Structure 1
Amino acid sequence: MKTEATLSPAEDLPLVSARRSRTRFTILALLAIGTVINYLDRTVLGIAAPSLSQDLGLSAGVMGIVFSAFSWTYTLSQIPAGLLLDRLGARKTYFLAVASWSAFIILNGLSGGLLSLLIYRLGLGVAESPCFSTNSRVVGHWFPQRERARATSIYQVGQYVGLAVFSPLLFWIIAAFGWRAMFVIVGAVGLGFSIVWWLRYHEPHESRTMNEAERDYIGAGGGLTAAADAQRPFSWHDVRSLLGRREIWGAAIGQFAGNSTVVFFLTWFPTYLVSERHMAWLKVGFFAILPFVGASVGVLFGGWLSDLLLRRTGRINLARKLPIISGLLLSSSIVAAIYMKSDAAVIAVLSLAFFGQGMGGLGWSIIPDIAPKRLMGLTGGIFNFTANIAGIVTPIVIGAILALTGSFYWGLVFISAVALLGAASYIFILGDIKRIELPEVGSATKNSA
């Protein structure tokens, strides 16, 4: 009995005599730039926080609420964003998302107090919600299965390197022109990119720059889409059907686990270095970059390894699961930082753990493999909704632990345990990686009548 999807020689990609065009890599570059801007826009508040909180008279506790506001609406908007994506398609959805979140970033810079700042942060969460579902859909359409993990890793690396690369420039802008100017400049860059996206992005069936050799290559690998596939009417039956599939829950729980590690590094990591390890701020500024470098290397290595395994073995389960599970197991090593004496050893452990998270964060490469062709947006929305609950839960849990114990000991244990839960989810819950087949809406309605 065949228990794992494989690529047989007959199903493998065809050899073509004509030289393939490389339009898919232009599309991937757009995704990578969009992801860099996306993560810059959601995290620049942390850079502005010291001067912003002083100007607006906001306490540290109140700033914590402002920080969390983004995650609440971002998480709650995932499923509606997926439905919008299935209705409008990638080009319109991403254009509207980038333009609207860039507008909200500019409004952040015009905030006059707590209420307006909260409203703009909540709006930013809604506006950014379609980003990763759109990325996944685009990769599923534009790349053959054997290249999807690497393509996913290339656009995902933007979430790690963007802030590290551009932070010095952003700090300089604040020093020279103030925090309000930084928000306006970053927002203006996003608005400019939204125009570039509108002019440059197109679906595979609309492409005038992709030749037949590239079209055959992508199509033989399970990519491409027809005009008729651009949308499917919303149906609660589809939602219930997807929520009843183990593939969705297995991938979502695994991504929740990986995101918990990311959230720790985006929120409590600097505080951990200062309060627990007693590092000076200058030292923190240097050391804080290293785990993000580790994560960047991890996501690229994981994507390369996954596609290499797929080409060498043809076994999609092995190729997708092994790097992700290995990465989550490495993430669980974060607990070893508790026992490290030197600062260098602590940073080495944390960098290894974040490297593992980079590998484990490739869950998005599974979505194009399991999502119904015409429900990639809804599938990605459900997946990302569950995964981003980590953005709400993790800061609260670690903050509560810190308040009760005065130590990060159990906080690191929590992150490690969640990473192990994610590995177990991929091993025992996900099952075989294969496309979910759902009945057409009309037939589903008749059957339920």
Structure 2
Amino acid sequence: MQPTRARFGILALISAATMLNYLDRSVLGVAKPALTAELQIGPEVMGLIFSAFSWTYALAQVPGGFVLDKFGTRITYGLSLFLWSAATALHGLASGVAGLLGARLALGLAESPCFPANSRVLASWFPQGERARANSVYAVGQYIGLGLLIPVLGWIVATWGWRSLFWLVGGIGVVFSGVWFLYYREPQDSRANAAELAMIEAGGGLSTLQAPPFSWALLGRLIRKRQVLGASIGQFCGNSTLVFFLTWFPSYLADERGMDFLKSGWAAALPYLAASVGVLVGGQISDWLIRRTGSATLGRKLPIIAGLLLTSTMVGANFTDSNDMVIAIMSLAFFGQGMVNLGWTLITDVAPREAVGVTGGLFSLCANVAGIVTPLVIGFIVGATGSFYGALAYIAALGLVGAAAYVFVVGPVVRVSLD
């Protein structure tokens, strides 16, 4: 009997959901020039608003992971999709700083289960030899959706105003939450035949296990595992680059370089498209290395380390007057950040079998502290100096720190035990 391909339908679902997830959190960066002009918001306060999303997003990661392990992927992810899309639409009703802060806090809280859930889907639905490529397919939605849509999103703002952008994107997500509930199922309840289920199980796919009860001791045991700690440090550093592109990069082009999305067209979208390629290349290289060497340690860590080193090239934009060269440098740095997304596959490989959700939540918490810190640091640097020079140096330095964490802290990529 030939295995069915039900897992690829599930992959399509989480790919679309992830694209909406990042589009919803990112459109504020596109709307920012028009929004700040209308509401009279300065760079320091705007940094605070950008950061607010990650306050609740980061804090809800661990509770969201426990909820995910307890109630399952279908219910948790579907409700999350509906609520974050509604929160996105609320941005369009804001009349000042308080309204924007409230909408960002709600958006962060609602989006928090997404990536732990994605990690759980990979662990349940895919054998290890396919996980990196599956991760790259859904993760590419983080970048390619925004990259391809940047000129369109800019046109929407110019034509109908910044509020319409939030209403449109939020409405699409509400509709898609219904699609999720209609089609997502766990492997044993799906259309997958016995041959496909056997293939997934033989490749290390996980059945649904009883989640351990919440305790601070459990979190302490997880974070003391070098694999979890080192990967979390590295992901914080790599995520800082991502947060820069999702928040301050449009302002960097407009304010520092005199570019905007309508005038520069597809050139401004190139870094996002480069990140999409980086995600796919990282996944392909990772699975290829595992097949060639049999070593998950080499296959997972090497592309991530290379990607973190590439993010540090961002500082080169400080030393050129050519906007074309700036786009090229930023594209290379964001390409590297795309490869770093492979950290989600690594954490799936090392998480204890009975605590994939909470391990993903803890990992995401550490990684998304960058979403709190980075917008604030960049906002204060720009406000104090009137330039992005120090901001780019800050992001580049974190790339080097992240590479060192994967080299010296992570150790072997093996599934850890809570015992």
Interval of TM-score (by shorter of Structure 1 and Structure 2):
over 0.9
Q: Distance in 2 between matches of 1:418 and 1:60?
A: 22
Within the candidate set 188, 196, 219, 1:205 is matched to 188
Aligned partner of residue 288 in structure 1, secondary structure: helix
Cα deviation for residue 128 of structure 1 reads 0.4
- Measure, in 2, the Cα distance between the counterparts of 1:419 and 1:274: 25
Aligned to 1:427: 407
Q: Distance in 1 between matches of 2:97 and 2:316?
A: 39
**Residue 341 of structure 2 aligns to a residue in which SS?**
helix
Aligned in 2, Cα 1:280/1:147: closer, same or farther, shift over 3 Å? closer
Which residue of 2 is the match for residue 225 of structure 1?
Answer: 207
Change (3 A) 1:242 1:106: same
Structure 1 counterpart of 2:20: 37
Cα separation, partners in 2 of 1:254 and 1:59, compared to 1, 3 Å = closer
Aligned AA (1:430): V
1:290 is displaced (CA, Å) by: 1.1
User: Contact 2:151/2:261 (CA < 8 Å) preserved in 1?
Assistant: no
Determine the structure 2 residue equivalent to 1:328. 308
Q: 1:316 aligns with which of 296, 299, 303?
A: 296
In structure 1, C-alpha distance between the alignment counterparts of 2:161 and 2:389, rounded to whole Å: 37
- Residue 152 of structure 1 corresponds to which residue in structure 2? 135
Contact 1:23/1:210 (8 A) holds in 2: yes
Question: Which stretch of structure 1 is more off in the superposition, 54-63 or 64-73?
Answer: 54-63
Equivalent in the alignment of 2:251: 271
| 1:14-413 to 2 correspondences below 5 Å | 18-53=1-36, 56=39, 58=41, 61-175=44-158, 177-207=160-190, 209-226=191-208, 229=209, 231-279=211-259, 282-413=262-393
8 Å CA contact retained: 2:55, 2:105: yes
The aligned amino acid for 2:392 is L
Partners of 2:44 and 2:379 within 8 A in 1: no
C-alpha distance in structure 1 between counterparts of 2:95 and 2:245, whole Å:
29
My pick for the range that moved more, 269-278 or 287-296, is 269-278
The verdict on how the C-alpha distance between 1:51 and 1:384 changes in structure 2, with shifts beyond 3 A counting, is same
**In 2, Cα distance between the equivalents of 1:94 and 1:190?**
12
Shift of residue 172 of structure 1?
4.4
* Cα drift, residue 272 of structure 1: 3.1
Contact 1:150 1:307 in 2 (8 A): yes
Letter in 2 for 1:378: V
Q: Cα RMSD over matched residues?
A: 2.1
Q: Is the 8 Å Cα contact of residues 87 and 232 (structure 1) preserved in structure 2?
A: no
Aligned CA distance change for structure 1 residues 84 and 333 (closer, same or farther; 3 Å): same
Counterpart CA distance in 1 for 2:100 and 2:382 is 27
| Cα distance in structure 2, aligned partners of 1:231 and 1:120 | 32
Contact 2:270/2:331 (CA < 8 Å) preserved in 1?
Answer: yes
Does the CA-based 8 Å contact 1:205-1:224 persist in structure 2? no
SS in 2 for 1:389: helix
Deviation per CA, 1:320-360: give whole Å up to 9, x if none: 01111111112222222233343222222221111111112
Question: How big is each residue's C-alpha offset from its partner over 1:375-403, in whole Å with a ceiling of 9 and x where there is no partner?
Answer: 11110111011111111222222333334
CA contact (8 A) 1:273 1:284 kept: no
Q: Which stretch has the larger CA shift, 282-291 or 355-364?
A: 282-291
Tell me: CA distance 1:242–1:36, structure 2 relative to 1, closer, same or farther (3 Å): same
**TM (normalized to structure 1)?**
0.87
Q: Does the Cα contact within 8 Å between 2:68 and 2:117 map onto a contact in 1?
A: yes
User: Partners in 1 of 2:18 and 2:26 — Cα distance?
Assistant: 12
Q: Which moved more, 1:345-354 or 1:123-132?
A: 345-354
Q: Secondary structure of 1:432's match?
A: coil
Amino acid at match of 1:43: S
Q: Please give the per-residue CA displacement for 1:185-217, whole angstroms capped at 9, x wherever unaligned.
A: 32221111111111111111222x111211111
Distance 1:76 1:175, change over 3 A: same
- Counterpart of 1:149 in structure 2: which amino acid? A
Distance across 2 between alignment mates of 1:85 and 1:206: 18
Give the aligned residue type for 1:106: A
> Sequence identity, in percent?
55
1:204-245 deviation line (CA, Å, top 9, x unaligned): 1222x111211111111100314xx15332233211110211
In the alignment, structure 2 segments of 5+ residues that lack a partner are none
| Mean CA deviation greater in 271-280 or 128-137 | 271-280
